[in-house]
Amino acid sequence: MQKAAPGGGSQAGGMRMKTSPLAGRPAALGALVNVPKLVTAYYSETPDADVASERVVFGTSGHRGSSLERSFNEQHVLAICQAICHHRSRHAIDGPLFLGMDTHALSLPALTSALEVLAANNVHVMLAEGDEYTPTPAISHAILAHNHARTTGLADGIVITPSHNPPHDGGLKYNPPHGGAAETSITDWIQACANQLLKAELAGVKRVTWQQAIAAPTTHRHDYLTAYIGDLGSVIDMQAIAGSKIRLGVDPLGGAGVNYWSRIAEHYRLDLTVVNDAVDPTFRFMSLDWDGQIRMDPSSPFAMQRLIGLKERFDIAFACDTDHDRHGIVTRSAGLLPANHYLCAAVSYLFQHRPEWCEAAAIGTTVVSSQMIDRVAAKLGRDVYEVPAGFKWFAKGLLDGSLAFAGEESAGASFCRRDGRVWTTDKDGIVAALLAGEITARTGRDPGEIYRELAQDLGEPASDRVEAKATPAQKKILQNLSPEQVPSGELAGEAIQAILSHAPGNGAPLGGLKVITESAWFAARPSGTEDIYKIYAESFRGEEHLRRVIDGAQTIVNEALMETSNASSEQLNPERRYEPASDLSAGHVSKTDEEPMIAQMTYDLVCTSRTTGTDS
């Protein structure tokens, strides 16, 4: 078994959480999600808007949760979609809405609920031809294709997906007309509006029956698959891959792109094998992740055991998560590449093999991306645009061409077409995966070998990410960490050069803290999608120094939580039905600062209903 990165797992209060002995093994039948129970709970359980963990919460990318814990139920979807309709009216977004879903058990029920609201609000909805599953990048591609050269009648989209989350979760994310994940100002408004509707027991939500919705003149079909696949040659050198006759392997991990890969192979005459084309809402074919959960994470060596075991069969192999916006690259030379390693190899290759790209276009990274990318960028003579965690921060740069490439540590990336025009403004796991094929075909070396050469030239960092459970109140504390809470002028024996609470690229709050020395850095932040916090760290001085960096970071986090422990206890509501997730599964992120928006939201809803004929 390929092992996780050194120190993999999680750490809480200075104690590292152990990897489950089941990690990397097949799931036992008794551990599989009960799909009938899950779907029944979607319709039968009613969330309480006064309970923090049961409200609508848009994290880093969309609202996620489980129907079994009343954090993703029909009421959430109805309220969110009505809020999106109000947002569209307020901003004169009157073009089609591209609607897609992944293969999670709750995705089809949620899509049904969404269409009932959208049709009632006279939104022109584009459903997939043949009820095909729809990857996130295909939605982004469709939005941009429709909006090209338009100033009116602009389109937007909704993707029903909780990303790589466990089978018991559901999720929904909104993509505005720029095609990428919605920025915080939009999701904050939608979140507050949806929670106001929940509080009002859905008064003001317009809805028709499924039969009426599917037959409505505003409901249309769109062939996402053909449009997306037919355009891939504009972003990837598909002829080079086909001509090299390299053997490609892909594991869709039972996700939304499961039927895309065989069509890609057929259309471009690739020697590509789909190692598993099963779609099963229990995802029983997955090996268990580090904590013993099923999680369709293509960057996890535990979840990727099947493909890793097949690496000798292929020249290059890859996988994508459930909505196909993330990638995992498996090479003969290195097995499963850490996400940052592949991003470095991709940046190095692309900026030397895309002569039509703008010379001024920058490289987008997040504050938790490897500084190895900065070193590669400096060698290439390219600027780095560093933003907070979340791909939404890259959308406008990818759209206007100021960014030619954007990538994040969690294995998400997108980049320009070969001629420098925008491809997608959301993460695209499919093109990131196919790029690994292009790199191998054109250079004769796989991305793992490319990274080894870069490391020999620029230095090799040791890196780690530790995670720990955190209550919503603790997450709020960590989100507001300040430079003043770093008591010393040094970290792991080196002078601190910078303490950041805002991103250098766009000045946006990090939602945490980043501390930088000459050869190392760490960042501490709460997760936007799970009830945990994360510490990211990297050192160019080796594993021992990295451990010291992490120890210093953990001390700062522990002291911040201890200093505010009394305030933290007061923030917790002892009557709310919240239990920290024992397995780090995602979905129950709370936000307690939306109440000041409610009065304004009530006014906005009334005004919107008066201008659109909506009851509220």
Residues designated catalytic: 163
What are the structure tokens assigned to 437, written together?
């094929």
Rounded-to-10 torsion of CA 593, 527, 161, 401: 90
Q: Which of 118, 137, 225, 223 is nearest to 181 (CA)?
A: 137
Do strands 169-175 and 62-66 pair parallel, antiparallel, or not at all (unpaired)? antiparallel
Estimate to the nearest angstrom the gap between the alpha carbon of 288 and the chain centroid.
Answer: 20
Spatial separation of the C-alpha atoms in residues 229 and 436, rounded to whole Å: 17
Specify whether the CB–CB gap between 48 and 54 falls below 8 A: yes
What are the structure tokens assigned to 252, written together?
């869709």
Do strands 316-320 and 335-336 pair parallel, antiparallel, or not at all (unpaired)? unpaired
Spatial separation of the C-alpha atoms in residues 362 and 111, rounded to whole Å: 37
What 592-597 contacts at long range (C-beta under 8 Å, 24+ apart), as own/partner pairs, is: 592/52, 592/472, 592/476, 593/476, 594/188, 594/191, 594/192, 594/195, 597/188, 597/189, 597/192
Specify whether the CB–CB gap between 600 and 75 falls below 8 A: no
Do strands 248-251 and 316-320 pair parallel, antiparallel, or not at all (unpaired)? parallel
Could you tell me where the DSSP H helices lie in 99-174? Answer: 107-120, 136-147
Over the range 307-331, which residues count as b (16 or more CB within 10 Å of their CB) and which as e? Answer: bbeebeebbbbbbbbbbbbbbbbbb
Spatial separation of the C-alpha atoms in residues 202 and 117, rounded to whole Å: 11
Specify whether the CB–CB gap between 97 and 117 falls below 8 A: no
